[in-house]
Structure 1
Amino acid sequence: MSDLRYTKAPGLSTRPVEAAGSLMVFTPAKPKVHWPNLAGWYLFELSDGSGEEHIAAEYAEAVAGQIPRDEALLQARSCLADLARRGILVTTEA
């Protein structure tokens, strides 16, 4: 079980692009425009300082019936780590 907590990186510029089912995110610390998919957008919104397991469980509940729970949890953890690598989310230890 992870002790990581996820929050949105400071200074981001975001704009929802609902027609594309995506969120446009500009990261000023690493100047780049990112286009997280719908899952990434949802996980971004859930990242309010909550722990990885809590966020992953919320995601799994949201996609219940579409993919198996274990797969959803793995997908959420992987996506959270990717968003952090890209500078969209920051992590802290609980």
Structure 2
Amino acid sequence: MQRSNVGTLNFYRDSKGNEIDIIYEMGRDVYPIEVKAGATVANEFFKNIRNFFKIYPHTPYGGALIYGGKEPQLRTDIKVFTVWMIEEMIENIK
């Protein structure tokens, strides 16, 4: 029997208003995910994830952005997925 990645979904928000839409927790590891409706990736979409990396540096899988566009991208340590690629995103967290 093959076991799939199973984790816990949460969100993050601190008293200063910094937030992450989805925190995918797998034991001690976390995978921050931002969700944006825009069809074009903008640099400001990465702000919250980069702030989270400063607060919680133990993110061995990096982070992800899900957006309303059509093309996946890779930005240093943040992978950009389309909304139709969510299952693929979860499968690639290893």
How does the TM-score come out when normalised to structure 2?
Answer: 0.33
Q: Which has the higher strand share?
A: 2
- Larger RCO, structure (CA 8 Å, separation 6 or more): 1
Q: Which has the higher helix share?
A: 1
